[in-house]
Every structure is written in C-alpha cells, then in structure tokens.
Amino acid sequence: MKTGLRIFITFLIVLLVDGLTKIWAEQAISSPTPILGQFFRLTLGYNTGVSFGLLTNGGLYPLIITGTIITGLIVWLVMMIRKGEIPAVIHVPIGFILGGAIANFVDRMLDGRVTDFLDFGWGPTRWPTFNLADSFIVVGVLLLLFILSRIKSPEKEQAL
C-alpha cells in the first residue's frame, strides 16, 4: 500500500475515534467522573483557545492560526510524498498528527470551541483538560521524533 494511502487511512481512523469520543463525552459526562480516583477523571470542558488555553476567547484567531498550520502541513506532506521522500514507516505518526489537528479544527469550526474531557492531576494541581485529538498529536510527534532519530541518512553513514 502506498504511503499516502496509509497516512490517509490513519488520519481517517483518528478523525473518527476523536469525533465519536467527543460526541459521547458531551452526552455522557455531566460532572467530573473519577476513573483512577482523583488522579484521572472525565471532566467535560471546552477550550475556545489553542493548546493549554492560549488565545482563550480569541475569536477567529485560533481558527486562522490552526487552519494555516494545517494547510502548511498538508502542502508540505503532498510535496514530500510526490518526491518520494516520506519513509513508509512514518505513516502512523504523520496520520496521528494530521488527524488530531484536523479533528480539533473541525470541532472548533462547528461552535468556536474544542470539546475536552480527559482530566489528570492530583488534588487542585491539574493538567489542562484535553481530548483524544490532543493525545494523538503528542503521541504522533513523539513517535515521529523516535523514528526519525533511528533512520540513518547517507550523510550520517559517510561520517562514520
């Protein structure tokens, strides 16, 4: 299977899983629900900004910023796929990153905010509530960095 198709399939899976969990969260969570005591709970929340609440109540700016980043990523990805410069092994992390970014973008387009529901912390010290799209982006970036650190470029091999 071609790399572009593998990226697209991974992207669609992320988009679907994130969308379904956000719909579920909005229908099922009415108050904080402990899963692992108070360390991990499900808490419905909305973010009108970007990561960690930056640009909260920023109007169209978060949509414009994320839309520009997503467009740039897609243009870069298409160019690299056409050149054959995308190793097949990175289809999962690229699909995770693109799927998570577009999932949050679509959510924000619908009502000006992103649905969050994953809540970690201890007592009053809590990480900002997030969603699966955010998780896919972070895991995708970490996987991409790990994989790219393991790929030997011709320049590195010549230096050895």
Q: Report, as an integer, the average pLDDT of 127-132.
A: 94
| Residues acting as catalytic residues | 116, 134
| Bridge partner list, 40 | 36, 120
pTM of the model: 0.86
Residue 1 has pLDDT above 80, yes or no: no
Tell me the DSSP string of 119-138. Answer: EEEETTEEPPPB-HHHHHHH
Per-residue model confidence as pLDDT tens digits over 20-58:
999 999 999 999 999 999 999 999 999 887 766 666 666
- For 143, the token pair is 């996987």
